[in-house]
Amino acid sequence: MTTPYIFLFALLGGIIPAFVWLWFWLHEDRKHPEPKKFITLAFFAGMFVIPFVLPLEKITWDIVCGSMQGGIQKLSCTGVKEVNDMYILSPLSVIILFGIWAFFEEILKFGASYLAVLRRKEADEPVDVVIYLITTALGFAALENMLFLIQLLQGPLPQGISESIINGNLRFVGATLLHTVASATIGIFMAISFYKNKHVKRLSLFWGISVAVILHTAFNFFIMKDDGIHIFVVFLFVWIAIIALMLFLERVKKIRTYKVVN
């Protein structure tokens, strides 16, 4: 049962890390800040995606590896073995499943950001696209983390609280940054083609989404391996990706400056 205290703890654990990272990325564009109302709109747009993503991911699980709702029969996908009434997925099945989930999340995050802010005239500079997509990703991560913490806190209180703190920290530096990197990747591709024709813009968007889905899938696949070495390597690559993102963001700012000067 979700008590008010559990809900409050999960709310703070989900929202505060997202706000910290949001402050950090907005600080990167402090010379030309985006209107607060559109930043807020983009953040809530990301949260709005969660109720659509979860059912899609559940349906995908049922089709690929689980039992269909209604329970007439179990569907076994290629490479899946049933042991003690539980499914052990082959690596290929896991990659396919995670790839579909990543596609849903990246497409819906982008769609929400586009409908909320990206199509507006206020998004008139290349860096704006990156900032708004990052903001949407952080809104998504905030609600996702909140639901994750609520689930953890349903167990015995001492264990639940300790696990929530540990896993909350892991998601703070892991999954939250993953969503940031993935959405920002789409934004970088869009920003580079910001002043190009429609054909180039569409092609850049396609490649941006493709790279984001690949990164997202790879993270989910390798993070599931329950050993310290794999987790350390995955988190190392995530931090390297964040550094690369900061460098690309500086390049995007120069695209804006070049346009204004010339």
Name the pLDDT band for 261 (thresholds 50, 70, 90). very low
Predicted local distance difference test score (pLDDT) of residue 94: 80
Closest CA to 109 of 137, 145, 144, 130: 137
% of the chain exceeding 90 in pLDDT: 35
Q: Over 15-80, what HEC string results?
A: HHHHHHHHHHHHHCCCCCCCCHHHHHHHHHHHHHHHHHHHHHHHHHHHHHCCECCCCCCECCCCCC
pLDDT tens per residue across span 210-259: 999 999 998 888 776 655 566 677 778 888 888 988 888 888 888 855 54
pLDDT tens per residue across span 125-151: 899 999 999 999 999 999 988 887 777
47 vs 252: CA distance, rounded Å:
26
The number of beta carbons lying within 10 Å of the beta carbon of residue 104 is 20
pLDDT tens per residue across span 87-137: 456 777 788 888 999 999 999 999 999 999 999 888 888 999 999 999 999
Phi, psi of 75 (to 5 degrees): -105, 120
Domain residues for 70? 4-261
Q: For the chain, how many structural domains are there in total? A: 1
